[in-house]
Amino acid sequence: MAIPIEATVGTSTLQSHAYTARIPGNRGIWVGIFCVLVEFTLLFGVYFVARVHNPEDFRLGPDGLVTRAGVAITLFLLSSGYCMVKAVEVMRRNRHRAAARWVLAAILLGCCYPMIKYFELNWYIDNGGVGQRGVFYGTYYYLTLTHLVHVTWGLLGLIWVGARAALGGYSADDYSGLEAAAMYWHTTDILWLAIFPLFYVLR
């Protein structure tokens, strides 16, 4: 018996609508992301208050930062975020091993951030950039190191979902955990894209 075209189209439309209406990840990760955004909204508020009251510090401060380190961190984080996009994409096609490889790439690229930050901080210590340069550097250290803590949590989450993907813990029908980790990781990317120009670029 032939299936009416109208019925087929209607079913496809409903399925497509249900798919697009689905909340990415899960509710728990969105609560966590909301808390992180509230935290950094307050920190950015501290930044702008400090900037208003100490304009000279914030005008000269970026000259003492290693801009190349900030650019490198930006590139590595964005590349890592792209890998997580690909991981979710291939998991939707039930390709577990490919997803695990993309997550591994995201982890390796993401780990470059703490490595660069380590060498950058050592450079500041060797060149008198710790505890001697006023409010700008105090704000810089507090915001960037707080962000580094969240990146570390994100990397731990990526390790977990990468292992699960490799072991077949996700499928095309159930990959919300992988997607949740990707959403959190993208949040750290967005926060860095705000932090980078505020400290390394703006005078």
pTM score of the predicted model: 0.84
Instruction: Give the rounded percent of residues in the chain with a pLDDT score beyond 90.
Output: 69
When the candidates are 1.20.120.80, 2.60.120.10, 3.40.50.150, 3.50.50.60, the CATH number that belongs to 24-201 is 1.20.120.80
Name the phi and psi angles at 174, rounded to 5. Answer: -150, 95
Q: Where do the domains of the chain lie?
A: 24-201
Q: What is the pLDDT of residue 25?
A: 73
Predicted confidence (pLDDT) at residue 5 exceeds the cutoff of 50: no
| Angle between helices 176-196 and 96-126 in degrees, nearest 10 | 30
Predicted confidence (pLDDT) at residue 80 exceeds the cutoff of 50: yes
**3-state SS class at 55:** helix
More confident residue, 172 or 23: 172
Q: What is the pLDDT of residue 6?
A: 41
Please tell me the distance from the alpha carbon of residue 69 to that of residue 9, in angstroms, as a whole number.
53
Please tell me the distance from the alpha carbon of residue 78 to that of residue 75, in angstroms, as a whole number.
5
Please tell me the distance from the alpha carbon of residue 201 to that of residue 203, in angstroms, as a whole number.
6
Chain CA centroid to CA 58, Å: 26
SS (H, E, C) 77-130: HHHHHHHHHHHHHHHCCCCHHHHHHHHHHHHHHHHHHHHHHHHHHHHHHHCCCC
Query: Cβ distance 156 to 84 under 8 Å?
Result: no
Tens digit of each residue's pLDDT (9 = 90 or more) over 97-121: 999 999 999 999 999 999 999 999 8
